[in-house]
Amino acid sequence: MKFLPMAELLSRAYKGGYGVPSFFVWNSESIELTLRAAARLKAPVILMTGPWEFSFTGPRELAAVAHALASHFDVQAALHLDHGDTLERVATCLASGYSSVMLDYSTRPFDENVEGLRRAVELARPSGATVEGELGLIGKVDDISAEGAEESTLTDPAMAAEFVQRTGIDALAVSIGNAHGAYTHLPRLDFDRLAKLRESTGIPLVLHGGSGTPPDDLRKAISLGIAKVNVATEIMTAIRGSVMSDWQGGRNMWVPFAQAAAMQEAEKVLEKWIHLTGAAGRA
């Protein structure tokens, strides 16, 4: 299969009342695992990588690996740049075969955020790729989370409407009480705000910081316009826990064995989220 523009997956989910899980991937094992889980559960899925991962494997190499692996699977999937930090990064990912890009200028002044996303849309349109923007700051739970702003500010529905209209983006990441990382206390999602955001923007909305969201809250958020749910920390936690217990127990010293065991734990996380979002059986 070939990667699809993320907007295709999201518009079906938005209309169908389910969410598409967006899983963090960083190497061939994680890409293959995600595609395999999606194929087995007949679920649409998004593979996302961000600037933090590119210091080791760049977007060109990662995209080449993803495209090569994708040719072995019959799945509906998008390859997405998560939290793209510059327009150059966006351009590189598009040239490398990403079918979707996020430009995260949420920490910049509103007009700069608008201008950046407007240009990202211009860059993406020739290849039909999707563009995600973020308005309002989505913070992080603690300092060990790689992603997330230092603080959170909730997304304003009227500003979101203007942002969508002036940029032409396909999907909007919203700040409604969600945060990146492993929640130390349960999030209190602002569902009234989310309903207003759905009303004012009319485009699929994105929930960053999916890990740890209570299932009932997740279902409610999806019913109010969330069409994409980002999950990273739970995958990391599963892998870290498995590797640590394997190595601390002194049972083996062979990295591939530890990795294989860890990926089995990660697979359980992927399956859980494919079911939680209602994506199973939708592709």
In the list 193, 208, 228, 282, the residue contacting ligand 13P (rule: CB under 6 A) is 208
* Amino acid of residue 36: R
In the list 39, 41, 103, 231, the residue contacting ligand 13P (rule: CB under 6 A) is 231
**Is 210 one of the binding residues for ligand 13P (CB under 6 A)?**
yes
| Least CB distance to ligand 13P at residue 234 (A) | 6
Give the total of residues touching ligand 13P (CB under 6 A).
13
Catalytic annotation on 82?
A: yes
Burial per residue of 190-226, b for 16 or more beta-carbon CB atoms within 10 angstroms, e otherwise:
beebbebbbebbebbbbbbbbbbbeeebbbebbbbbb
In the list 59, 157, 209, 225, the residue contacting ligand 13P (rule: CB under 6 A) is 209
Instruction: Give whichever of 32 and 53 is closer to ligand 13P, judged by the CB atom.
Output: 53
Instruction: Give whichever of 162 and 267 is closer to ligand 13P, judged by the CB atom.
Output: 267
In the list 92, 96, 211, 277, the residue contacting ligand 13P (rule: CB under 6 A) is 211
**Is 132 one of the binding residues for ligand 13P (CB under 6 A)?**
no
Instruction: Give whichever of 37 and 161 is closer to ligand 13P, judged by the CB atom.
Output: 37
| Least CB distance to ligand 13P at residue 256 (A) | 26
| Least CB distance to ligand 13P at residue 211 (A) | 3
CA–CA separation, 176 vs 174, rounded Å?
6
| Least CB distance to ligand 13P at residue 74 (A) | 27
Instruction: Give whichever of 32 and 147 is closer to ligand 13P, judged by the CB atom.
Output: 147
**Secondary structure of the chain as H, E, C letters:** CCCCCHHHHHHHHHHHCCCEEEEECCCHHHHHHHHHHHHHCCCCEEEEECHHHCCCCCHHHHHHHHHHHHCCCCCCEEEEEEEECCHHHHHHHHHHCCCEEEECCCCCCHHHHHHHHHHHHHHHHHHCCEEEEEECECEECCCCCCCCECCCECCCHHHHHHHHHHHCCCEEEECCCCCECCCCCCCCCCHHHHHHHHHHHCCCEEECCCCCCCHHHHHHHHHCCEEEEEECHHHHHHHHHHHHHHHHCCCCCCHHHHHHHHHHHHHHHHHHHHHHCCCCCCC
**Is 82 one of the binding residues for ligand 13P (CB under 6 A)?**
yes
Of 123-131, 208-216, 239-247, 260-268, the window that binds ligand 13P (rule: CB under 6 A) is 208-216
Neighbouring residues of 71: CB distance < 8 A, sequence distance ≥ 6 = 1
| Least CB distance to ligand 13P at residue 231 (A) | 5
**Is 21 one of the binding residues for ligand 13P (CB under 6 A)?**
no
**Is 106 one of the binding residues for ligand 13P (CB under 6 A)?**
no
Q: Which of 82, 104, 170, 246 is catalytic?
A: 82
The residues in 178-197 that bind ligand 13P, with binding defined as CB under 6 A, are: 180-181
| Least CB distance to ligand 13P at residue 36 (A) | 20
Q: Looking at the annotation, which residues are catalytic?
A: 82
Binding site for ligand 13P (CB under 6 A): 82-83, 147, 180-181, 208-211, 230-233
